[in-house]
């Protein structure tokens, strides 16, 4: 094998936090080109190690998606991508004029993976994720949101399977990932067995050390991944806009209007 499994695949990432970013990080680690949509202005989060970890190997376009011009850029990016991975609040993209149905009309084979705390179209779909208690237990400090990483891994698997299906069915679909459902599934063995009855609280093994590997834990025998570091937000804005056919004067116009 002379290339990574997902070489030639283009993924559009939208949203904030961990789950969508971790999903697309895994896709990038296996060869996909990931275009990350950033807001025009960001805080100091880009200086944190977590940002570097989650966004290595991606390209970044900074754009205001709540403007007419910004939405049109997203529609054009969708035409170039095979998959869209997002973790906005349920219904957000539809509320700003970018519903899945309209995007699929433009690109019938589009695969869209949405990651939300409780899934789409249910009673709790708009609730805060902390309601799931996956963010930790009061009094017990949790250094990272395990539920978000679990959902990101599930989204990576679901997106990979969905893309495989697209090659045969030649039609896209919308994948709905519930962080709560992913968390419950990961605990099913513990809840269904006797271990938690015999042990008051799960404990870690003595001497366990964190891994020193910041990238994918999956390796292929004939090829090594070659990833760049995380981009500065908006680092590739003009480059990506040129990729989808915008001329220099059109890009300048977007900048003048505050869209990028």
What pLDDT shows up at residue 44? 55
| Residue 245 or 46, more confident | 245
What pLDDT shows up at residue 146? 87
Q: How many whole angstroms separate alpha carbon 1 and alpha carbon 69?
A: 42
Mean pLDDT throughout 9-31? 96
What pLDDT shows up at residue 224? 66
pLDDT digits (tens, 9 = 90+) for 165-208: 888 888 889 999 999 888 888 776 665 555 555 555 455 545 44
Q: How far is CA 248 from CA 22, 242, 245, in A?
A: 33, 8, 10
Query: What are the residues whose beta carbons fall under 8 Å from the beta carbon of 249, sequence distance 6 or more?
Result: none
Strand partners, 10: 33
pLDDT at 16 over 50: yes
| Residue 232 or 47, more confident | 232
Strand partners, 38: 62
What pLDDT shows up at residue 207? 46
| Residue 125 or 222, more confident | 222
SS3 content of the chain, % helix, strand, coil (to 5): 40, 15, 45
pLDDT at 217 over 70: no
Domains of the chain and any CATH numbers = 10-205+212-256 (3.40.50.10540)
Query: What are the residues whose beta carbons fall under 8 Å from the beta carbon of 110, sequence distance 6 or more?
Result: 78, 81, 82, 83, 84, 103, 104, 172
pLDDT digits (tens, 9 = 90+) for 29-84: 999 999 999 999 765 566 678 888 999 999 999 999 999 999 999 999 999 999 99
pLDDT mean across residues, the chain: 82
Q: How many whole angstroms separate alpha carbon 160 and alpha carbon 166?
A: 10
Which of 23-27, 145-149, 162-166 reaches the highest mean pLDDT?
23-27
pLDDT digits (tens, 9 = 90+) for 95-107: 999 999 999 999 9
What pLDDT shows up at residue 208? 45
């Amino acid at each position: 094998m002379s290339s990574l499994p997902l070489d030639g695949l283009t993924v559009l990432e939208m949203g904030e936090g961990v789950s969508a970013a971790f999903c697309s990080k895994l896709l990038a680690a296996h060869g996909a080109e990931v275009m990350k949509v950033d807001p025009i202005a960001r805080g100091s989060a880009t200086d944190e190690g977590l940002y570097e970890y989650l966004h290595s190997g991606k390209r970044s376009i900074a754009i205001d998606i709540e403007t007419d011009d910004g939405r049109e850029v997203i529609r054009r990016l969708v035409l170039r991508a095979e998959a869209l991975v997002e973790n906005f609040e349920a219904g957000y993209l539809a509320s700003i004029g970018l519903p899945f149905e309209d995007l699929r009309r433009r690109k019938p084979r589009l695969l869209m993976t949405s990651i939300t705390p409780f899934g789409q179209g249910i009673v709790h779909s708009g609730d805060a994720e902390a309601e799931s208690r996956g963010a930790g237990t009061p009094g017990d400090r949790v250094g990272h949101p395990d539920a978000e990483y679990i959902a990101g891994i599930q989204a990576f698997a679901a997106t990979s399977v969905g893309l495989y299906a697209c090659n045969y069915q030649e039609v896209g679909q919308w994948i709905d990932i519930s962080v709560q459902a992913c968390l419950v599934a990961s605990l099913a063995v513990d809840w269904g067995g006797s271990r938690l009855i015999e042990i008051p609280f799960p404990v870690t093994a003595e001497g366990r050390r964190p891994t020193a590997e910041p990238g994918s834990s999956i390796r292929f025998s004939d090829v090594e991944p070659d990833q760049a570091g995380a981009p500065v937000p908006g680092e590739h804005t003009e480059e990506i806009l040129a990729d989808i056919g915008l001329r220099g004067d059109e890009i300048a116009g977007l900048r003048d209007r505050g869209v990028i």
